[in-house]
Amino acid sequence: NRQILLAKRPAGMPTEENFSFVETAVPKLQAGQLLVNTLYLSVDPYMRGRMNDRKTYVPPYALNEMITGGVVGQVEESLAEGFVPGDIVLGNFGWALYNVAAAASVKKVNPDLAPISTALGVLGMPGLTAYYGLLDIGQPKEGETVVVSGAAGAVGMLVGQIAKIKGARAVGIAGSDEKINYLVEELGFDAAVNYKKGDLRQQLKEACPSGVDIYFDNVGGTVSDAVLSLINKGTRIPLCGRISLYNLEQADIGPRIQTQLLINSALMQGFIVSNYAEQAEEGLNQMAQWLKEGKINYTETITEGFDNIPKAFLGLFCGENTGKQLIKIADP
Ligand code: NDP
């Protein structure tokens, strides 16, 4: 078996030196366990937080232990009732070619519903994040303007499309002209702006002639400063992520525009997708329905090969992915 461990805690932006590869034997299965062959593995921005020696809403990764995250795999051996070799499962597993997992900790994936990789994206954790963050906290209404940062990523691309389904205007912020074009041309966003080019506030002002009613914030920092300067009375701000700040060695003090929140009676509310664990099935069913009806589209950036996992992870912080970043290890 091949595994990836956390070799060293990063200071600032991580590098490949923070990871190490080891060869190990596959342990013998016990009753109730499955041997799962990794097919697709997810890298996610929250993993950066777990590399620090600081508890957030999940404990940090331990040094010289396997990194863990979302995996779609195939059961190779089963000592658990209800699972047979060939079953496709989703679990929180180690970065390894093979994992031994308690059957109770995995979820079966229905390969007839959608491509199995979507269990890590549109029909998985990022899908639920977009769905509940926007609908429960954002509560978009017809004709309102929804701005989303990190718009061409796994969560952001779905936020804009759900906003459209609810009759709102969707405006995306992303880091390249290709991404901007993708959002408008392929996903039906009403407008999108490139935060790396020109005056972001001015661009947003033009893209949001009636101001901002909902800001779904994936990035924080100066991008969010620009959006917050344009909010309307009663704006709702689902605080989903802070990717522009995850690699800072000195904590950021923002938001710097609290006065805007005050004078507009705006609501900014942080959330963690696991808050919605009990409603997850309902959200996933709705997303699957929209996918089937062609109301939601998605894209994946698929990196091939186990040894490229760290590189794909680091790419998240340089905008190398469009849509959900996955690593493909094997075919079913
Ligand atoms: P993405 O697929 O959006 O990948 C990350 C993207 O962030 C990159 O492609 C890049 O796009 C953008 N980015 C990277 N660095 C910066 C920067 N300095 N400033 C602005 N944009 C940057 O990731 P996810 O969709 O999986 O996650 C999006 C956010 O949501 C993250 O902050 C994540 O932590 C958070 N999240 C929160 C959850 C929760 O429960 N609250 C659950 C899931 C995700 P670009 O080219 O546009 O710069």
* Residue-range domains of the chain with CATH: 2-121+298-328 (3.90.180.10), 125-274 (3.40.50.720)
Establish whether residue 148 lines the binding site of ligand 1, counting it when its CB lies within 6 angstroms of any ligand atom. Answer: no
pLDDT of 167 > 90? The answer is yes
How does the average pLDDT of the chain come out, rounded? 97
Q: Which of 44, 243, 244, 279 to mutate to test the pocket of ligand 1 (most atoms within 8 A of CB)?
A: 243
Give percent of the chain above pLDDT 70: 99
Q: Which of 218, 239, 247 to mutate to test the pocket of ligand 1 (most atoms within 8 A of CB)?
A: 218
**271 and 238 Cβ atoms separated by less than 8 Å:** yes
Q: Which of 41, 92, 149, 155 to mutate to test the pocket of ligand 1 (most atoms within 8 A of CB)?
A: 155
Establish whether residue 173 lines the binding site of ligand 1, counting it when its CB lies within 6 angstroms of any ligand atom. Answer: no
What is the CA(153)–ligand 1 centre distance, in A?
6
- Asked if the ipTM is above 0.95, the reply is yes
Establish whether residue 276 lines the binding site of ligand 1, counting it when its CB lies within 6 angstroms of any ligand atom. Answer: no
Band (pLDDT 50/70/90 cuts) for residue 55 is: confident
In this predicted structure, what is the pLDDT of residue 98? 98
Establish whether residue 317 lines the binding site of ligand 1, counting it when its CB lies within 6 angstroms of any ligand atom. Answer: yes
Establish whether residue 32 lines the binding site of ligand 1, counting it when its CB lies within 6 angstroms of any ligand atom. Answer: no
**246 and 49 Cβ atoms separated by less than 8 Å:** yes
CA–CA separation, 253 vs 149, rounded Å? 19
CA–CA separation, 193 vs 183, rounded Å? 10
pLDDT digits (tens, 9 = 90+) for 199-239: 999 999 999 999 999 999 999 999 999 999 999 999 999 99
Model confidence, pTM: 0.98
**172 and 183 Cβ atoms separated by less than 8 Å:** yes
pLDDT of 148 > 90? The answer is yes
Span 50-58, average pLDDT: 90
pLDDT of 255 > 70? The answer is no
CA–CA separation, 101 vs 94, rounded Å? 10
Span 250-277, average pLDDT: 91
What is the CA(52)–ligand 1 centre distance, in A?
18
Span 141-161, average pLDDT: 98
Return the ligand 1 atom nearest residue 173 CA.
47
Give percent of the chain above pLDDT 90: 95
Span 133-151, average pLDDT: 98
Establish whether residue 176 lines the binding site of ligand 1, counting it when its CB lies within 6 angstroms of any ligand atom. Answer: yes
Span 76-88, average pLDDT: 98
**144 and 132 Cβ atoms separated by less than 8 Å:** no
Span 53-71, average pLDDT: 94
Establish whether residue 220 lines the binding site of ligand 1, counting it when its CB lies within 6 angstroms of any ligand atom. Answer: no
Span 275-293, average pLDDT: 97
Span 119-132, average pLDDT: 98
In this predicted structure, what is the pLDDT of residue 252? 84
Span 111-130, average pLDDT: 98
What is the CA(219)–ligand 1 centre distance, in A?
6
- The residue among 22, 21, 19 whose CA lies nearest residue 7 is 19
What is the CA(316)–ligand 1 centre distance, in A?
7
In this predicted structure, what is the pLDDT of residue 56? 84
What is the CA(103)–ligand 1 centre distance, in A?
31
Q: What is the DSSP letter of 97?
A: S
Establish whether residue 222 lines the binding site of ligand 1, counting it when its CB lies within 6 angstroms of any ligand atom. Answer: no
Q: Is 174 helix (H, G, I), strand (E, B) or coil?
A: strand
